[in-house]
Each structure stands twice: as C-alpha cells, then as structure tokens.
Structure 1
Amino acid sequence: MTRILVGSTNPVKVAATERVVAGVLDATVEGVTVDSGVSEQPRRRAETVAGAENRARRALAAGDADYGVGVEGGVAETDGPPGTWLVMWAAVTDGDRLARGGGPSIRLPDDVAQRVRDGGELGPVLDDQAGTSDVGEGVGAAGVLTGGAVDRESSLVHAVAGAFGPFVTDHYEG
C-alpha cells in the first residue's frame, strides 16, 4: 500500500489529497505538522509555490512515505487581469521528482484586498467581514467568495491532482 504524508494537519488539505488518490492509488493519507518556510500569509505566487514545495519535501522527510504532498494558499497581485487574487498551489514529491499543480484563482473584493495589502491575513479578514469562524478549516475563502459554488476542499483537489499527474500517468517525462 502506498503511504502519502501531507505537510499539514488541516483536515481540508488532507481530505483534498484523499479525494485525488481515491481510485488512482491504493493509499493511506495522513497529515503531519511541518513548517512551510514562508510567511503565514504568502503574498506572491512564487512564495505560495515555495510554501507548497517546502511542505511536500518536509512531509516526505517526516516519515516513511512514498509521497510527500504540500498544499499552500496565498494571495497575489497580477500584471493582468488587475486585482489581488486568492491562489492555491500544491506540490508532490517522491524524493527524486517534484511536481506542481495550481488551483483556481479568485479575485478578492477590493475592500478585502486592501485589508490584506495592509497586512491582514485573508482568513481572519474574511471571518471578520463574513461573520464566519475559522474559514480556512471550513469552506475557505473560495467558498465565501463564490457563494458556496466551490469550497476550499474542491478547489484544492484541482491543485493536488495537477501535482500528482506526473506520478500517476505516463504523459510526462521521467
């Protein structure tokens, strides 16, 4: 049986990984506490990707596993289209290869974006504005900002699936 360690004990990140590998791998998935090596609120796409990569590598190193998975959410300004965006990235490593996948990007409302640019973290800002609690361990910013059309787990599934692609298909070079 394949053993997968996710570089977080956040139940949403673990559940997203479980959804990706179900039916693809005969695997157990477990969350482990690791340091992302980036700020609590990543503020650039590159920092968000680095956090996912660090989590994947550190998860693999945390125990006897076949794969380490890292999932990181952040906010990023883009050259176009304009705005501040919620971004989600995942990384998977088997110790030899590292692959990445991105989730959806959702533009932040201007008032939320301003509070984040002023130093706030997205989760607490949304909790304050939407009257929620621990949005990051529930529907997530994606759920709040899409009126529930997608939630954090389903958004992260896409990022994790993209990162697992090179390991579960033969469409990529070794």
Structure 2
Amino acid sequence: MTDIIFSSIIVDLKSAIETKTHPFRYFTLATSDFNSIPRLRTVVLRDVDDDLNMIVYTDERSKKIANIQANNRVSLLFYDQKRLLQITIKAKAEIITDEKVIQQIWKQIPERAKKDYTTELSPGREIQDPKEVDYLEGKHFFSAIKIIPARIEYLRLKRPNHIRVVFKKENGNWKGTYIVP
C-alpha cells in the first residue's frame, strides 16, 4: 500500500509542473539564516526528475542562496486544501553552478518571466515605491536550485482513519512505513 501512496506523490509532483493550477505547483521552502532562524518563502516547482530531485528558480542575489550556501539542509511543505493532503520533505539543496545548465534553462524561460531576474537592485532591498524598480538590459542574475530529498512524509486527513507514511531513501530506494498521524 505504501508503494501506491509513493506513486501518488510522484504523480502529484510531476503534475504540478505541467498544470499551473495544481496545488503543489507553489510550495513553501524553509532554510535557516545565519542565526539559525527559519526563513520561509513560497517558490515555484519547475522540474522533478525520476529520483524526485526538484528544481526551483531564484535570483542569485536572494537570501535563500546565501542561506543554502551556509547550511544546505532545507524543508519543503506542499499542501492540497481540497484533499486535506500534506507532503513534507527534508532535503539537501544544491545551487546549480554549471553555466551551461543555467544558460540552457535560461533559454527556455519565457521572455516576460526573465524580467524577474534582471532587477538592478537585489531582492529584499528597500525602495520608496514599486515603480522605482529598474531593470538591466543584457544582464541577469538567474540561478537554479536542485533539491535532493532524503525523507518524505505523507499525511492525508480522512475518516475514519488519517493516513501518515514516512518514506526514507535507503540504498538508493525509497522505503515507506506507516506512522501514527
């Protein structure tokens, strides 16, 4: 039965890439700052491979990049309100530094979306008015983060019994165990 649940997780994550309205498309990424204080932000799931490694995009000047460089352990939270389904993932994050890979991804980004990675000021900088944001021509600060899961928890609230399963990667394979919800 845990194999069926794990397969459903894979289907949901891959569907979130294809379907813009899928509840898992936007998820919460947690890092720790330099004072070990959790930092949460919503990110967009951009890709998932067969090993469940995930890709998100960001500005290379963002705080999440600095946080990951200092401590690459991250947590993810996916939630589907209609199904009362929560997926939490503990993972390691890697900043993709291969310039060929970055340029390949950059070429696939729609032109209207590229603007998000070309601001003159870095994300989080204080401004007086949103109209003050200036954009650079011919230069970008695009970066991508690879997230490598180590532990996945599935929680489905339903009657008569809630279902909670933890999956851990052992010897390259995911093994699921039911746990008390």
Do both proteins adopt the same fold according to a TM-score greater than 0.5, normalized to the shorter chain?
Answer: no
In proportion to residue count, which structure has more strand? 2
In proportion to residue count, which structure has more helix? 1
TM-score, length of structure 1 as denominator length: 0.31
TM-score, length of structure 2 as denominator length: 0.30
